[in-house]
Each structure stands twice: as C-alpha cells, then as structure tokens.
Amino acid sequence: MFRYSDEMISFLREHKEKMKYIELTKEFNKRFGQNKSIRAIKRVCFDNELCKKVRYDNEIKEFIKDIISGLSYSEITKIVNEKFKTNKSVRQIKSFCIYHNIYNGKGKKIPEQFVFTDEMIKFIKKNIQNMKYNELTVQFNKYFSVNISKSILKNKCYSLGFFNGVTFDQPLFTEHLGKDGYLIKTEKGWIPKQRFLWEQKNGPVPDGYCIIFADGDKTNFNENNLIKVNRKEHFHLNKRKLRFSDPEYTKAGLNIVKLFLKAEERQKEIDDEEPEKKNQPEEA
C-alpha cells in the first residue's frame, strides 16, 4: 500500500486551495515522480482533512428557497457559490433542489402546482386516442398556453383512466399495462398495482412513501417482493446503486440507507448543538 510522506502531504496542503485537482495532480506527480490519478489525490486530500467538507445546512437550504423563484439553476448556483464560498456545479445544485422538493417555477411545473380544468380534461379525453403522449403534450400546451411536462400530463391521464388504445369506461379492478408497469382501477381511480396489493395487506400507504419491487421486476407481485420506502430512501437506493436483482440484497441495501440517513440526522443534531455550547458562558 502506497504511503504518502509528510513532505507530500505538506505539498498538497500548500497548493490545494490554489489549484484545481487536475492541476494539483499533475504538479504532484511531476514533483514526486508518481503517476497518481485525480481520484487518488482527492482521496488523500479528504483523508487528511486538506479540503473543507461542505454540506448543505438549513441556512443554505432556506437561502435557496428564498432566491429560487424565477431564477435558472445556473444563476442559483452562481449566487450560492458566491455567498457561501462553495464550488458546486449546476448539476449538484439542481439535484439538491429536487431532492428537497425546491422548485424554481421556470418551465415545467410540478403536479401539485398545476390544476386541470374541466375544459382541459375534455380536451385530453377527446384527443388521447389519436395522439401519443409527446404529441398530446405539445398540442395541450399550445391550445391552453401552458408549459407542463409530458410526465405531468401522463400522470393525469393515468389517474383519470385515459390510456392510448383503451376505452374509458372500464369496470373496477381492471388492469392496464403501461410503460411504467401495471395500473389497476379502484374506487379512488387508477393506481399502481403494487400499491393496491400492498394496501390490501398493510393498509394505506403513508404520504411521501411508495412501493417498489425488491428484485426490480415490475411483474413480480409476490408479497415479499414489495417494499415500502420514503422519498429519501428511494433516492439514496438509486444514487448509491443499492438495488439488485436479488431481493435480499436490495433489502440489505435499504437497511444500509436507513443507517446512513439516521447517522446523517444525528450529525446534524450534533452540529446544531455545538454553536449553542460555544455561546454558553463558562462557569466560574
């Protein structure tokens, strides 16, 4: 195992803030006759606490909420980096905003913000049999002078039971196989079949939760293959690539995610407690 000398660490500490990692790696290899990758240099900097660990605390989250309306993610990123002395990319800021359900109101609207009128629903019902969802979305936006996404329109169609090539008047518990899996018609409208089956056994799915397939197979409705996860857990399962074709591995991955989120929550509590301790007067 390669061991970094004190001289190497001192070199990285001295030049870390002056150079980007690609430049720092090049100079390091040149100075010490090494062939280290950028990833290796990043790792040693992190392990030796040569770079500041920046995380989004409540202050930054609230700041983004205050400024986000009407701004592009590029503009938001620039403002956040300038104020908090960070160096985040547009992609990182956008992912953070979506993760925390913070939207800038530009372009596409989220489902909760868009209300379909009776006239809009009649338009959808009239045209869905003759158009694919892409074309229907374009014509819908043009006709009503709005700018919603295909996914919002498609989800509305699903909830109303409007499908391409399917008649509208379907009996209860009719199933429909769409691109995203099976839907089933209930008294509350069309819902994912896995949600329906899970609720039959366990009761209503709480707000903010969804039902996923442990093995990734959207046709495997075995009771042991259906898992309830919240949005954060679902996000980290995908981000950390902890979903597998083996359902037991996915369940183990979910336990890892839950431990990670618990640790993250505790760390935030500790960070919030430290300023309070510093501000308390010392006992004589």
Q: What is the DSSP letter of 189?
A: E
Query: Residue 131: its pLDDT value, please?
Result: 84
- Write down the residue that tokens 């590029």 correspond to: 74
Rounded Cα distance, 34 and 12, in Å: 14
Query: Residue 153: its pLDDT value, please?
Result: 87
Are residues 236 and 230 in contact, defined by beta-carbon separation less than 8 angstroms?
no
105: left (phi over 0), alpha (psi -120 to 50) or beta: left
Are residues 14 and 27 in contact, defined by beta-carbon separation less than 8 angstroms?
no
Rounded Cα distance, 186 and 235, in Å: 28
Q: Which distant-in-sequence residues (6+ apart) come within 8 Å of 121 by Cβ?
A: 160
Name 178's bridge partners. 181
Rounded Cα distance, 179 and 211, in Å: 17
Report DSSP letters for 28-56, one per residue. HHHHHT----HHHHHHHHHHTT-S-----
Query: Residue 225: its pLDDT value, please?
Result: 94
Helix axis angle, 150-160 relative to 118-127, nearest 10°?
A: 90
What residue segments make up the domains of the chain, in order of their start? 6-47, 58-99, 110-169, 170-269
Q: Is the CA virtual torsion 25, 74, 100, 188 positive or negative?
A: negative
pLDDT, averaged per 10 consecutive residues of the chain (284 residues), comes to 83 86 90 87 78 60 78 86 82 77 59 76 86 88 86 80 62 76 79 90 89 92 93 88 92 93 82 60 52
- Write down the residue that tokens 């983004």 correspond to: 64
Query: Residue 272: its pLDDT value, please?
Result: 66
Rounded Cα distance, 95 and 91, in Å: 6
Rounded Cα distance, 27 and 274, in Å: 38
Are residues 267 and 260 in contact, defined by beta-carbon separation less than 8 angstroms?
no
pTM for the model: 0.48
Name 183's bridge partners. 176, 192
Rounded Cα distance, 240 and 228, in Å: 18
Report DSSP letters for 126-159, one per residue. HHTTTS-HHHHHHHHHHHHT----HHHHHHHHHH
- Write down the residue that tokens 């908090």 correspond to: 84
Exposed/middle/buried for 93, CB within 10 Å: 0-12, 13-18, 19+? buried
- 175-178 β-sheet, strand order: 175-178, 181-186, 189-192
Written as six digits, the tokens of 157 are: 């169609």
